[in-house]
Amino acid sequence: MAESRENKTKATDASVDDYLDARASEEQRADCARLMALLARVTRQPPKMWGPSIVGYGSYRYTYESGRTGEICLAGFAIRGREIVVYLSAEGEAQKSLLARVGRHRMGKSCFYFKRLADLDERVLEQLVRGSIAEVRLRYGEDCGA
């Protein structure tokens, strides 16, 4: 039986620029601008706020084994204090290989944390984002929104 609990993180009409102005340091603003260009290039989608703190690109619908369904951004990032987090799937061997080469970061289940973009190989980061989208499409279908 599907859960009826509603997702807290939804696409909103909030301003991405206002979010960045309120949360990002000067260095983070520059990194976010480059990260936004990368995500827009990969997804071919404009940025949109998801909930109060995620800048997301595209979207897809998911269904958990429990039956719970929802919608979330296909790729996105957020500012978390002194770090930036990129939300991505990195479960396959190819993704794990890229993580070993991308540069200084830490990885949670689907959260890729870094302090400054200068610590990363941006080409490898782009491959990680592309690989993440491919993993999501494989899991949830080709009609994902990017």
pTM of the full structure: 0.89
- With left for phi above 0 and alpha for psi between -120 and 50, is residue 49 left, alpha or beta? beta
Query: How much is the pLDDT for 142?
Result: 65
pLDDT single digits (tens) 88-106? 999 889 999 999 999 999 9
CA–CA gap between residue 112 and residue 97 (Å, rounded) = 14
Q: What is the mean pLDDT of residues 6-13?
A: 81
Whether residue 1 has pLDDT greater than 70? no
> What CATH architecture does domain 16-140 belong to?
Alpha-Beta Complex (3.90)
Please report, for the chain, the start and end positions of each structural domain, with discontinuous segments joined by +. Answer: 16-140
pLDDT single digits (tens) 73-84? 999 999 999 999
- Give how far Cα 65 sits from Cα of 1, 2, 20, 68, 84, Å: 10, 9, 35, 7, 30
